[in-house]
Structures are given as structure tokens and as C-alpha cells.
Chains A and B, each alone.
Chain A
């Protein structure tokens, strides 16, 4: 069964002050989502800046353009008990879960104050029940196991996957395992139609939306970039997984606006323009009256985090 919500719609503008905390959990939904999205956006733009200034090493994969997925899905979870498995493009998921801006920046800067003490870096994060790893598809069976381990406590596990990761066999073994063992896993597919430099059309056959159904797994699908609509659909999916102790497949059509990593975008200008046209931030600005105040707040959170991360000791052996 496939359900979907049409992208929409008219909201009255909300005037609320920026949150007292990075996640703004006390704020009304739309404002809270806007704040979380901006926090992710500004943090990742800053990371790209730091890289180009030569202040960061290694690699990074920003979720610029995909913030609505992170915010919509993670806010549908119970942060106290649910489990998140993320991939290489994990900053947005991580921030929406934890609000730990400084912990993430310090981690990427290789500082002892990073969430993994400088061991993991950009794509190997752990914070409470949030985990990410840099091997495509490898986390999916692990997500199934964690869901089974905690299902008696009513917990659900979420596994974020990209369209390109549909190539990995482990994904299909996990679908079967989750269905056979009744694991409450929400597989979240972020389909940005590209894997690194390879367009989906070159390497993904058939339908991604329809992939899970033959395993007896219920599907939820959405094409749009509205965090509130994603949140509502994700809440339905998570609620189903929790109530029925069953896996489900949450397909989200999205757009990667930034490069895969840094300066490695080989897409034609027209395709990039199409991606930018689906930027989730501008429509949110039309719904949040005092977005400038929120932007300023988020910028100050990022600024302070970069400053204190830079002042922290390097992780050394």
C-alpha cells in the first residue's frame, strides 16, 4: 500500500522568537522545524567554508537541500528511546536528533571534545541512540538487530539510505530479515536521484518506491520538500512500525543542492537549477515571520561552536 501527501499549501505566518536551545523543542512546529533546518544549513555551509580555507581535513558530505527530511523524520521519533542509523550524509540527521552543534564541529575538526573524541569524524558519529557509518548499506541489518533488541520497550529504529545504496545486497537481506522477524524498522529512502556523480538512471533499475512491497513491507511515499508534511507522514510510518512491530519503507524524493563531498559536482547547470528550485528553506521563510531572528540565533550557535571547537585540544594518539 502506498500513501502520499501532495506538496502544498497555505499557512499563516508565525511570529515567535528563536528557541532557547538549538533544537527549539519548546517552539511551535513550523518555527521549530525552520530553526532546526537553518541550524543544519548554516552549520554545513560553515563546514564547506572551513574546508576551502584549509582548516578541515578529510571529507564531508553535506545535506544541503535535504534538511526537511532530517527534520521531518527525526521529529517524528521519540528521542528518548528510538534509534537512528544514518549514513555518510549524516550531519542533518544528527543535528535534528541531538542539537549537538559543537560536538559535531569538534568531531570533524579532530578535537577531543567531538562526539566521538575525534575518532570518527564526519561520517562515523555516535550520540545516545544515534549512529552513523560510512559503508553504504552495511548499517541496514544492524538497524534491524537494534530494532529487535528494543522492541519490547516500544522502540523503533530508523535507517536512512540513499537511492545509490539500493545497489547493495545487504539492503535486501535486511528487508527480508526485518519482515521475517517482525522488526520495527523504518527504512527511510532519501532519493536525490544521484549517487556521488552517478545519476540514478544509470545504476538503479525499476522502482525504488515499489522495492519493499514484495517483502510484505508497507510503503509510505512522498514527493516534496515540506518538513511538516514529511513529519506527518513519518509520524504515520513510525506509529505503524511501533504499533504493529513491523518494518516499513518511507520513500522521500528529495534534492541534493550541494556537491557530493566538496567541489565534486559534475551535474549539468540545468539539473542543478532544478535541484535549487526545490530548496526547502525559502518556502519556510514565507511561513515564519521573524526568520531573520532565528537565522541570527542559529548563526550565533554555529559561530560559538566553531570558536570553542577550535580552542579545544586536538585528539592525538
Chain B
């Protein structure tokens, strides 16, 4: 099963078992089934609960919060994760605040699904990884899907929590097969640990394989599913006694995943480095994207560099 089917199946299951659940998004009706086909089949199966919307990202997310507040849970699909910027106010100042601000008298079971990431040549407004801007927002849980876990199960978990969740999906990953946790490299007594999430996991795994084959460096990959609140203890536990850690993310450098990893591991590891995307927008040129997004060779080089330090 591919990632897109895993998410699609979970959406079907959730719609089947929750008769009040609504799915909202742009161009999500069949036969198109959404820009990345994640909602395929849903509008045919649940005609009255799959609503294709105007191009109104702020409005849709706000409407979802209202529906959810009064008893109708919602899953919103943002066509491209980049458009979450238009919904920022609804997420930060409305959906995520209601429960605490209203003294826990209400709940807001809304899930926002956002396809992020580059490597498709879509250019500066359709290739970003904007999740860090929504991490650290009280009341909002940010998750990132990857194929070395179970994308469908992640969606089920988010739904069960009955609170605002943002799920970061990755456009390239949709077509990847679901491999499961067992496929992540976890050699005993690893020389290096790569901590990463989302679309970077596959590159980290490939880099780990090359490090093992070419340099006999044992590399563990820790793939984080929950970005915010950041799972400090879980990351510490998974890094264990290893003294070298490389953190990898696709978003812009600074104030991000790498910083949180450093905060989790400060005083625990001896050598740490962080890789991120460029500190400029994502270029349209495909080749240029590959040059500036952290890929297999950049991760491998960062690991080698750390290994040689001691």
C-alpha cells in the first residue's frame, strides 16, 4: 500500500464510523479527488459530508472550527500546505485557543491536513515546509506523516484526540510504499543517530545505508512523528547513549526542528549538527531544488564530518 492509499483508507474508515464527520477542501470531489488524490472516492461514498469549498483557506478553517465546536468534527484538506499562511489567524487565534480560553468547556475536533515539501519543481509558493511556524502554538498538535510508520494510524490517533491537529504530509511521499517502523535502520551501538521527520526520512535512511556500506559507520534513523509539542523524552530515549547526532529538516534554517533536537539533547551528546533547507525561498528549477534541499549526499557528508570529529 502506498502512503496516499493509507491516508485515503483511514479517511474512509473515519467517515464510516463517525456519521457526524465532515471533510472540507478545494477540488476534493470525484472524479478529481483532490490535487494529490488523497480524497479520492470519498465524495462518491459520502456525498452529503464531503464538501468542496470555495478558494477560502482562512474561511474554511474557521468554519471547520465552528462546526467542530458545536458537534461536527472536521477534517480539512489544504490543497498545498503553503496556503496554511492564509489560515494562520483561524488556527492560532481561534481554533487552538478556544478550549483553554473557554475554561475547558468546549472542544475543537479539527484536523488540518497539509501537503508540504519541495522536489516537484512547483516553485516558491507551492514547495515550502511551513510547519515550524505552527509549532509551539499552545493548543495545537503538529504531526508529520512518514512511510516508516503507519500514515493511516496517525490520522486515527489525531482524530481520537478531539483537539486541533495539523498533519504535515509530503507531496513526494504520497507515492511511496508504506514500509513500517521495522524498516528503519536501528543497528545496535550506533555510531551516529540521524533525527528527522516527514519527507526527509527516506533520504536519511538512504544515507544510513550508504554510510554502512561505504564507511562501515552504523547509523540509526529516528523518525519523529509528533513535532509539537516536541517529544523531548522520546527523542532522548531513542538517541540513547550515542554521542553523535545529526538533525535533518527540509524547512528553512533556524528556529526549527534542529533547534528543538538540540534542546532535547544538550548535555547528552558530544557532537551535534543540523541540516535544513535554504535560507531563501524554494527555487522553481528542479536541479536547483536538489542542490539546496538536504538530500542523501548532504546527510551522508554531515554524518561523516561528525564521525571524523571524534
Contact = CB atoms under 8 A, between A and B. Distances in A.
A134 B123 contact: yes
A264 B37 CA distance: 12
A172 to B, nearest CB: 11
A317 B283 contact: yes
Interface centre among B54, B82, B281 (most CB of A within 10 A): B54
Contact of B32 (A135, A167, A197): A197
B126 A119 contact: no
Nearest to A123: B123
B285 A121 contact: yes
A197 B29 contact: yes
A264 B56 contact: no
A124 interface: yes
Given A121-B285, A167-B59, A317-B292, A198 B121 contact: no
Contacts of A120: 123-124, 284
A211 to B, nearest CB: 13
Contact of B126 (A118, A134, A167, A204): A134
Interface in A184-203: 195-198, 202-203
B284 A195 contact: no
A110 B125 contact: no
Nearest to A109: B285
A57 to B, nearest CB: 3
A123 B278 contact: no
A107 B125 CA distance: 16
Interface string B166-202: 0000000000000000000000000000000000000
Contacts of A168: 55-56, 86
Contacts of B278: 317
B204 to A, nearest CB: 20
A316 B123 contact: no
Interface string B77-100: 000001101100000000000000
Given A58-B120, A120-B124, A196-B26, A203 B285 contact: no
A133 B27 CA distance: 20
Nearest to A167: B54
A37 interface: no
A57 B26 CA distance: 23
Interface in A124-170: 124, 133-138, 164-169
Contacts of A135: 82-83, 85-86, 125
A26 B178 CA distance: 61
Given A198-B26, A266-B31, A118 B284 contact: yes
Contacts of B32: 196-197, 264, 266
Interface string B286-310: 1110011000000000000000000
B253 interface: no
B241 interface: no
A316 B288 contact: yes
Contacts of A108: 284
A314 B287 contact: yes
Contacts of A122: 123, 284
B43 to A, nearest CB: 12
B125 A124 contact: yes
A58 B127 CA distance: 10
Interface in A96-116: 107-108, 110-111
Interface string B31-70: 1100100000000000000001111101100000000000
A315 interface: yes
Nearest to A107: B284
Contacts of B126: 59, 134
B122 interface: yes
A291 to B, nearest CB: 34
Contacts of B123: 58-59, 119-124, 134
B58 A169 contact: yes
Interface in A5-32: none
Interface in A36-68: 57-59
B80 to A, nearest CB: 9
B280 to A, nearest CB: 8
B297 to A, nearest CB: 13
A118 B284 CA distance: 6
B121 to A, nearest CB: 3
A58 B289 CA distance: 11
A110 B285 CA distance: 4
Contacts of B120: 57-58
A58 B125 contact: no
Contacts of A196: 26-27, 32, 35
A84 B285 CA distance: 24
A114 B103 CA distance: 55
Contacts of B281: 119
Contact of A204 (B54, B86, B122, B125): B54
Contacts of A124: 123-125, 284
Contacts of B125: 123-124, 133-135
Interface string B236-261: 00000000000000000000000000
Given A119-B283, A315-B285, A315-B288, A203 B53 contact: yes
Given A123-B125, A167-B53, 13 more contacts: A58-B121, A59-B121, A107-B284, A110-B121, A119-B124, A121-B123, A134-B126, A135-B83, A196-B35, A315-B285, A315-B287, A316-B285, A317-B283
18 contacts: A58-B121, A59-B122, A59-B123, A119-B124, A119-B288, A133-B125, A134-B126, A137-B55, A166-B54, A169-B59, A196-B32, A198-B26, A203-B52, A203-B55, A315-B283, A316-B291, A317-B283, A317-B288
Sorted nearest first, the 10 A-B pairs with minimum C-beta distance are A121-B284, A58-B121, A110-B285, A167-B54, A317-B291, A57-B121, A167-B55, A121-B123, A134-B125, A118-B285
